[in-house]
Structure 1
């Protein structure tokens, strides 16, 4: 016989109260939120349609040229070309373009929100002490939990998938922006202050450039986390390669899931190389670090 933990609160009543509160938000603000996020949906849809409209060889050449421009390595450049070509060969090019569109849009919005939050955090110890536990929760919370409120608000589709991806992917760029700015040598900022530099000048002339390698590491992690979310996001209408994996699970088709999974791995390798190489080039350009 096992000893049950004593029931200190009525958990059923608590769950009902939480659900009723959220249902009230959906009833009162759901339509307004859908209208507010309509521009984001249009941006995502336009990017997806544009990538799918471009001839396959244009996308392949563009990504290959970008890889060479960033990495300056023939082997990595040829690898990008081969991996993109294989994605087309196995017949999931359009799905891959939809995945790239979702990943790029989510990463762009996460960076747009995350870097300013990280900068504000770096200037306030009390705010950091509050925000860091929230980021810990966001990174450890099961991914499926993010889907529930967004689906309730917007219904299945691309917007809840995009928002869930942003929430899941944004913590690294916030955390590492805050860390990078805090690690800037205090003597540098003190010297600028002594020469009459304003807070804004210290931030943009010294702190952000010196913290850029750390910030770029955060952007790279955010990009990879956004890409890792595509399979889960496909469950609520995101489409793309994740939907191919989901179909493989539903139909018990190992080949479909395996090929889509390989395409996701290929994209992860390509964008990881590009992001890391760009961070190193920026660091060398600024003559900071090794």
Structure 2
């Protein structure tokens, strides 16, 4: 009876041999190509360090004013701009200015990298159902995989530091921009595409002048989701050396510092709200402009 209830699993010795084989091959790959891969990501590290240095060394009134101006340009709302500046001032008054700037620089760089990678893949998916069927399941896996799992191969390849954390954050946060780009381009009205064809537009001209502008509000929804996922990964990535608000939260968890964890967690929430409101307002403004142009 007990034999019938036991699941017919793979023999334990064979399973152990398989795990040892995978681990040894991955370590061999790391030893062979680790330095080359580190050199490959040096420009990304320099970009992150330059962004971080700009925000942490610039005078705080200039940073607050610059972020408020960007918030107004994106949303055209003085309420959102003023609220963004007050939120930053509140975080800075609690002694978390440097960590907040490091977190903002990390989110900025991760979002830029996700856009550079995700937009072309999303465009490719929108043009080919076969590519969509191949990439779609991969995106499903990326979105359901526990965030901690992303740290394992990245740390084994590149060690501990900012760049491995940045790569893990990008992998975790890039699926929405790919999906929303694909969705936005597929939702462009057929009559607009037919009009572009009638004027003799090439495929590149049609993409650049019709499809991407029309899909931009939808793409901004993907950008919003990418930013939120990147922020949610900040605390996890602090385990492998990503500086910012995540490290104090990790120390608070380790040492049971309730106040430290609460304040830094609230700072992360404040940044998330600022990014969310600004990106949503920009997307809504694009949507209204697009609807107005068709009236």
TM-score, normalized by length of structure 1?
0.95
Unaligned runs of 5+ in 1: none
Structure 2 residue 212 is matched with structure 1 residue 203: no
Q: Rate the CA distance shift 1:28–1:73 in 2: closer, same or farther, 3 A.
A: same
Equivalent in the alignment of 2:282: 278
> What RMSD over aligned residues (CA atoms) do the two structures have, in Å?
1.7
Superposed displacement of residue 289, structure 1? 7.9
Q: Return the match for 1:252 from 250, 253, 256.
A: 256
Cα separation, 2, equivalents of 1:72 and 1:203 = 27
Cα separation, 1, equivalents of 2:294 and 2:225 = 20
Cα separation, 1, equivalents of 2:179 and 2:294 = 20
Superposed displacement of residue 288, structure 1? 5.6
Deviates more, 1:87-96 or 1:184-193: 184-193
Structure 2 residue 8 is matched with structure 1 residue 6: yes
Q: Return the match for 1:58 from 62, 81, 101.
A: 62
Query: 1:132-281 maps to which residues of 2 (within 5 A)?
Result: 132-281=136-285
Structure 2 residue 43 is matched with structure 1 residue 39: yes
CA contact (8 A) 1:210 1:288 kept: no
For residue 154 of structure 2, give the secondary structure of its aligned residue in structure 1.
Answer: helix
CA contact (8 A) 2:51 2:105 kept: yes
Q: Return the match for 2:104 from 100, 107, 111.
A: 100
Equivalent in the alignment of 2:27: 23
For residue 235 of structure 1, give the secondary structure of its aligned residue in structure 2.
Answer: helix
Structure 2 residue 82 is matched with structure 1 residue 78: yes
TM-score, normalized by length of structure 2?
0.94
Cα separation, 2, equivalents of 1:220 and 1:108 = 12
Q: What CA deviation, in whole Å up to 9, does each residue of 1:72-114 have, x standing for no partner?
A: 3343333222211111111110000110111100110000110
Cα separation, 1, equivalents of 2:189 and 2:286 = 19
Unaligned runs of 5+ in 2: none
- Aligned pairs, number: 290
